[in-house]
Amino acid sequence: ELFEKKNYELRIAGGAVRDLLSGMTPQDIDFATTATPAEMKEMFTSAGVRLINNKGEKHGTITARLHEQNFEITTLRIDVVTDGRHAEVEFTTDWEKDAERRDLTVNSMFLGLDGMLYDFFNGYEDLKNKKIRFVGKATERIQEDYLRILRYFRFYGRIAEKPGDQEPSTLQAIKENAKGLAGISGERIWVELKKILLGNHVNHLVRLMYELDIAQYIGLPLDGSLEEFDRVTKNIQNLCPKPMTVLTSLLKVKDDVTNLDLRLKISKEEKNLGLFLVKHRQELTKAVGPEPLRPYQDFIMDSREANTNSKICELLKYQGEEHLLREMQQWTVPSFPVSGHDLRKMGVSSGKEIGTALQQLRDEWKKSGYHMDKEELLSCLKKL
């Protein structure tokens, strides 16, 4: 109503339009308008609408807070200068010019609040046909921001129906510009890569990254184990793994995790999970016999770290052990029933003896599959 009253045009833009047309509820809704940031600020302030300051203004974005929700509204713009990472913009009232500087056709549409779709580059056709294409010339779009190479892969994994359905000219443009990714910050790359790893066709897309010489610029090892990656991506299909679990299957040794971290600045937790999987994926496997989970349970019981449980669950996903994973998720870590206090009551007084006795009882308890209770353990101590 505010925009209408002032005769500024306001439309929903980009990803939200794509989601609505795909029958999905958008996560967040971005708006585009012909009003400049200064005009918006004046209009909102005089209407008593709160503005959130989050430094978007020089790119033309104003964030208004209404009904406990933030709304990002961006002035239509043209990129004047781009260096492959950042753009300098100038404002425009031409909707087509704004659509022209967006990355992919499926992300370049606008939706009027009356339900009218504005689609300058056949984005709706492409969405219906599950095609991922750059707006205009692929090379130009990529050179404006090299991260768009990974965005292309991410949306391919989200929208395309089958692997291998890319246009050769697009792949050529990606290959020729892959090196540009070297100048993009690790944090930005990791955000995209995580989404690719959890999307569809991940196997095909990661192979493409190697074929198109992208891998080396985004922290992946030059000789990533693609066979292991094949195997693991099949294992974890319905198990909701963490991105790092999927990615670790490409890595062969500890150094690969370290190099990945240097390039992508992954979190400490992600790095530790990678190191854990590289170290234990071969040796720590299910037991033959009636208690297949025992090796994993023993590992958790012997571990002094807090989040071993969740690492073991990721290891089970990696190994494709779906039923063991379910069991593991229902298992609660039992607590050792005997304390030093119990032993003192029984007349064991020296600290050293108590320590030794507790260790012996712990071993007995472990052998029993953690089933022995306090009474049984203490009578066992008398025998010992």
What integer pLDDT is reported at residue 54 of this predicted model?
Answer: 67
Cα-to-chain-centroid distance, residue 133: 23
- Sole residue written with tokens 């999970």: 273
Residue 248 has pLDDT above 70, yes or no: yes
What integer pLDDT is reported at residue 245 of this predicted model?
Answer: 97
Torsion of CA 208, 214, 216, 222, to 10 degrees: 20
* pTM of structure: 0.88
Do residues 214 and 174 make contact, with C-beta atoms less than 8 angstroms apart?
Answer: yes
Mean pLDDT estimate for the chain: 93
In terms of phi and psi (left: phi > 0; alpha: psi -120 to 50; beta: otherwise), the region of 53 is beta
**Residue percentage of the chain with pLDDT more than 90:** 74
- 54-58, 249-253, 285-289: least confidently modelled range: 54-58
Residue 318 has pLDDT above 90, yes or no: yes
Contact residues for 179 (Cβ-Cβ < 8 A; gap 6+): 213, 217
Residue type, 156: Y
Produce one character per residue of 188-207: b if its CB has 16 or more CB atoms within 10 Å, e if not. Answer: bbbebbbbbbbbbbbbbbbb
- Sole residue written with tokens 């000789």: 223
In terms of phi and psi (left: phi > 0; alpha: psi -120 to 50; beta: otherwise), the region of 239 is alpha
Alpha-carbon distance of 14 to 127, in angstroms, equals: 13
Q: Where in the chain is the domain with CATH 3.30.460.10?
A: 1-124
What integer pLDDT is reported at residue 57 of this predicted model?
Answer: 80
What integer pLDDT is reported at residue 366 of this predicted model?
Answer: 87
| Greater pLDDT, 79 or 189 | 189
Do residues 30 and 72 make contact, with C-beta atoms less than 8 angstroms apart?
Answer: yes
pLDDT per residue as tens digits for the range 36-50: 999 999 999 999 999
Give burial (CB, 10 Å; 0-12/13-18/19+) of 229: buried
Residue 70 tokens, joined: 């933030």
- 52-61, 112-121, 183-192, 258-267: least confidently modelled range: 52-61
Which CA distances in Å does 123 have to 9, 351, 367? 21, 74, 63
SS (H, E, C) the chain: CHHHHCCCCEEEECHHHHHHHCCCCCCCCEEEECCCHHHHHHHHHHCCCEEECCCCHHHCEEEEEECCEEEEEEECEEEEEECECCEEEEECCCHHHHHHCCCEHHHCCEEECCCCEECCCCHHHHHHCCCCCECCCHHHHHHHECCHHHHHHHHHHHHCCCCCCCCHHHHHHHHHHHHHHHHCCHHHHHHHHHHHHCCCCHHHHHHHHHHCCCHHHHCCCCCCCHHHHHHHHHHCCCCCCCHHHHHHCCCCCHHHHHHHHHHHCCCHHHHHHHHHHHHHCCCCCCCCCCCCCHHHHHHHHHCCCCCHHHHHHHHHHHCCCHHHHHHHHHCCCCCCCCCHHHHHHCCCCCHHHHHHHHHHHHHHHHHCCCCCCHHHHHHHHHHC
Residue type, 357: A
Residue 105 has pLDDT above 80, yes or no: yes
Provide the pLDDT confidence category of residue 340 given band limits of 50, 70 and 90.
Answer: confident
Provide the pLDDT confidence category of residue 56 given band limits of 50, 70 and 90.
Answer: confident
Cα-to-chain-centroid distance, residue 13: 24
Q: Facing residues of 104 across strands? A: 134
- Sole residue written with tokens 């005009």: 39
CATH number of the 1-124 domain: 3.30.460.10
- Sole residue written with tokens 């990714």: 181
Residue type, 1: E
Residue 133 has pLDDT above 80, yes or no: yes
